[in-house]
């Protein structure tokens, strides 16, 4: 084994032992950014190859989470803003998502570790075949209870909040408009979010060097810790992941108190 790989492996093991000695997050959110830039950096003519490499990376990250005992993972794979890209790229990305979701229904990591999969977002505009794959995937993992994998597809944080408010209003539609407005509480909105019943993320990681949420879990991230990593998503290493966990562990969480 080359000396550089020996050093990398040794450092990875040191980091892993270190993070296992402290409290670990229950729920991690991941903004999978940088697939297109990775493709260009690698000299690929078709940026879809970057999305394909990113899809492969998910298996590794899920395994890392299982090894550390992190029970809930939420990933963002297609946003409402992504839908504004050119038609050819959107079709390529949605094709990669469809193939990956279909793979997850048979994936040994999902089955062996009992991942229940839930897809978050507005699915109405998605292609019929992708919606069918989503339905089958959710049904095939419905009885799994050990881990949760949320996959945000056609997702926007503002849209989710608007959706939740509309549902809360419809549920409480009585009295005057002012009485209805006054009756809406944070609990009403929380109970209608896509993630209802799932703890809010403790840590949100964004790859590719961008330092913003771009609308990811806006409501749920009020007290989350954030970690921004320079690596593009397909090049995201276990060392990068462990550093994010260590950074989380070094913080004092006050939850606004």
Query: Which secondary structure element, helix H or strand E, spans residue 58, and what is its range?
Result: helix 48-68
Q: Is 33 a catalytic residue?
A: yes
Give the Cα separation of 22 and 252 in Å (integer): 13
Encoded tokens for 67: 């090894």
Residue of 59, 67, 82, 86 with catalytic role: 82
Give the Cα separation of 149 and 146 in Å (integer): 10
Q: Return the percent helix, strand and coil in the chain, to nearest 5.
A: 50, 15, 35
Helix then strand count (H, E) for the chain reads 10, 6
Encoded tokens for 146: 């050990």
Encoded tokens for 14: 């040191």
CA distances (Å), origin 147, targets 56, 216, 221, 252: 19, 21, 20, 26
Place of tokens 């944070």: 186
Are residues 150 and 75 in contact, defined by beta-carbon separation less than 8 angstroms? yes
**Active centre residues (catalytic):** 33, 82
């Amino acid at each position: 084994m080359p000396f550089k790989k020996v050093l990398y492996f040794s450092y990875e093991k040191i980091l892993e032992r270190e993070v296992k000695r402290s409290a670990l997050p229950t729920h991690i959110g991941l903004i999978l950014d940088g697939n297109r830039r990775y493709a260009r950096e690698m000299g690929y003519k078709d940026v879809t190859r970057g999305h394909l490499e990113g899809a492969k990376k998910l298996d590794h990250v899920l395994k890392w989470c299982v090894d550390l005992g992190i029970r809930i993972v939420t990933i963002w794979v297609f946003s409402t803003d992504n839908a504004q890209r050119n038609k050819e790229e959107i079709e390529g990305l949605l094709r990669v998502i469809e193939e990956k979701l279909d793979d997850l229904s048979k994936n040994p990591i999902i089955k062996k570790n009992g991942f229940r999969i839930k897809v978050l977002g507005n699915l109405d505009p998605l292609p019929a075949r992708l919606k069918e794959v989503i339905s089958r995937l959710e049904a095939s993992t419905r009885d799994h209870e050990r881990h949760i994998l949320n996959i945000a597809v056609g997702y926007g944080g503002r849209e989710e909040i608007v959706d939740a408010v509309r549902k809360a209003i419809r549920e409480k539609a009585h009295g005057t408009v002012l009485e209805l407005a006054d009756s809406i509480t944070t609990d009403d909105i929380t109970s209608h979010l896509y993630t209802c019943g799932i703890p809010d993320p403790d840590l949100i990681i964004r790859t590719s060097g961008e330092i913003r949420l771009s609308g990811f879990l806006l409501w749920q991230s009020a007290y989350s810790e954030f970690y921004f990593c320079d690596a593009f998503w397909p090049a995201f290493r276990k060392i990068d992941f462990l550093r994010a966990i260590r950074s989380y562990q070094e913080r004092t969480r006050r939850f606004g108190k």
